[in-house]
């Protein structure tokens, strides 16, 4: 019988909780991320205990996304980046999205956002507003994404390439007027849900941000 992979830093045992009875918990794959198989029962709405369920749980940890916004130009910075999963899904492998990444252990989400912003766009923020935190796929993945809007100056950002060489990462900055970015979302031309969500948040909050940040 093959031994289970060792525990992964992103996949500690599922903690006990009211309404949850864990019967088995193992790591079935450990690489950059981890896949955890858990057999459990939960308390149903009528108070009874459910039958046993066995679910695979993709453990990714915490993530961060930043929407760079220039209130003086009323424009946003998007990035173009190669994404293998998009190709596997039958979409364009070059995705237009927002700077994002995973938090290092114990890293503050806002600080991580500023780090990702510099790495992927070369921009520095002069103010930051919280958009919120969201789960991307609560039925199968534990990632919680912290989203921020950053005030930036987009004077000469367009067309520049960035990214971490040791990760073989390459991103290209695209500067888009806010109204054009909102139109992209409305026309379903933004494939990534977090990017679309952040742009819709800006559409709702743009007037307030321009008053506060200009």
**Distance separating alpha carbons of residues 138 and 11, to the nearest angstrom:** 16
Is 90 inside a domain boundary?
A: yes
Whether 143 and 202 share a structural domain: yes
Q: Binning pLDDT at 50, 70 and 90, where does residue 122 land? A: very high
Q: Residue 32: which domain range?
A: 20-59
Tell me whether residue 72 is annotated as binding.
no
Residue 17 known to bind ligand: no
Would you place residue 63 in the very low, low, confident or very high pLDDT band (cuts 50, 70, 90)? very high
CB under 8 Å to 47, separation ≥6 — which residues?
A: none
User: Is 169 labelled a binding residue?
Assistant: yes
Structural domains counted in the chain:
2
CA distance 116 to 91: 25
Which token pair is 30? 């450990």
pLDDT of residue 82: 96
Q: Which sequence positions are flagged as catalytic?
A: 167
Identify the pLDDT of residue 4.
Answer: 65
Q: Looking at 59, 85, 110, which one is the last position of a domain?
A: 59
Mean pLDDT of 86-96: 97
pLDDT of residue 8: 81
36 and 85 co-located in one domain: no
User: In whole angstroms, what is the distance from residue 9 CA to residue 7 CA?
Assistant: 7
Question: Does residue 121 sit in the same domain as residue 207?
Answer: yes
Residues 42 and 142 in one domain: no
């Amino acid at each position: 019988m093959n031994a289970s992979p060792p525990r992964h830093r992103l996949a500690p045992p599922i903690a006990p909780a009211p309404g949850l009875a864990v019967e088995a918990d193992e790591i079935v794959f450990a690489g950059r991320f981890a896949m955890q198989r858990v057999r459990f029962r939960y308390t149903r709405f009528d108070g009874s205990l459910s039958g046993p369920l066995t679910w695979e749980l993709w453990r990714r940890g915490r993530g961060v996304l930043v929407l760079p916004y220039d209130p003086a130009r009323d424009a946003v910075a998007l990035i173009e980046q190669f994404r293998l999963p998009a190709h596997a899904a039958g979409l364009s492998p070059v995705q237009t999205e927002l700077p994002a990444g995973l938090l290092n252990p114990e890293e503050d989400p806002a600080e991580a956002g500023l780090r990702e912003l510099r790495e992927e766009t070369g921009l520095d923020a002069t103010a930051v507003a919280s958009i919120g935190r969201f789960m991307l796929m609560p039925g199968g993945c534990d990632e919680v994404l912290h989203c921020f809007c950053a005030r930036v100056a987009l004077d000469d950002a367009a067309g520049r390439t960035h990214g971490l060489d040791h990760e073989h990462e390459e991103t290209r900055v695209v500067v888009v007027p806010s109204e054009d970015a909102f139109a992209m979302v409305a026309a379903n031309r933004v494939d990534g849900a977090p990017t679309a969500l952040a742009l819709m948040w800006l559409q709702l909050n743009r007037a307030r941000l321009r008053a506060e940040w200009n």
